[in-house]
Structure 1
């Protein structure tokens, strides 16, 4: 039975591969969003942009809120 099922499911192997690749990419992105070192670097970049006058206080607050929202958002999977 294994050979027969393999013959019928073989044409779908590329589809399964693409789905698995998408899942792996999603896991990596979510890991990067929640990585404390990456979050700290983003927050430091926002702070530096504010100090250098590239962004306003309101923009800084929005950017910090967005970073924290992404970091603490619901986990998938």
Structure 2
């Protein structure tokens, strides 16, 4: 059955490959956007530009707010946090398995 399914869906292989590549690029871009090293570098660049007189202190403050806003999710977004290990992957964390303990009663078992 798997061979038949693979043959029938073979024309869609380029679409599946392109979809996988787009997801991988999006995941990498999001991980770089929320990377603490990159955030620190952007904040340092804003400070250097302000010290050199390239931007005003108000522009620096606005830039810092914009960079730091990436660290906190919007008020209505409760499903994703940038610091989570599965950020941007669309996956949920693995479910916890139930541990059988002596004396537990399970469905279908009459202990």
With structure 1 as the length reference, what TM-score do the two structures score?
A: 0.87
> Relative CO higher for 1 or 2, CA cutoff 8 Å, sep ≥ 6?
1
1:22 matched to 2:22? The reply is: yes
RMSD after superposition = 1.4
- Unmatched 5+ stretches in structure 2: 74-79, 81-86, 91-111
| Residue in structure 1 matched with residue 32 of structure 2 by the alignment | 32
Length-normalised TM-score, structure 2:
0.63
Q: 1 or 2, which has the higher helix percentage?
A: 1
Structure 1 residues without counterparts, runs of 5 or longer? none
Count of equivalent residues: 77
- Structure ID, larger Rg: 2
